[in-house]
Copies of this chain bind each other. A is one copy, B any other.
């Protein structure tokens, strides 16, 4: 059995509200676009809203690292890719890329670390036991 690496991909077309007067996509817009990918990837990991509401366990963002490599422009058709990159005891990392349509140009690359908290106290949790086996190839 080959190792499973949760990953997602979605297309996005640049809107006026994504750009700024330097005629390129604004740095904040990329992170909003990436947040949609992060939400999709979280759903794949079992953090869909109904489940989160029942269990009271939510992922929270700890850190973002983002590199702005090349500027995307209005109406560009982007490809947004995300994947689970590594797991620790408490934290896990997701990696994202914002690419052009055929994935030949990287506009932005990004890593984000998250942790799980138990609401309503926001108590940090260890990652689920089964992740250590399911994602053994991603242990850091």
Which residue of chain B is the closest to A48 with respect to CB atoms? B75
The smallest beta-carbon distance between A31 and chain B, in angstroms, is 6
Known: A16-B39, A21-B24, A49-B75. A65 touches B65 (CB 8 A): yes
Q: Is the interface of A mostly helix, strand, loop or mixed?
A: mixed
Is A86 located at the chain interface by the 8 A CB criterion? Answer: no
Chain A interface bracket (under 10, 10 to 19, 20 to 34, 35 or more): 20 to 34
**A10-25 Cβ-contact flags toward B at 8 Å (1 or 0):** 0000011101111110
Q: Return the contact of A21 from the options B16, B60, B62, B67 (Cβ within 8 A).
A: B16
A residues contacting B by CB (< 8 A) are 15-17, 19-24, 26-28, 31-32, 35-36, 39, 48-49, 58, 60-68, 73-75
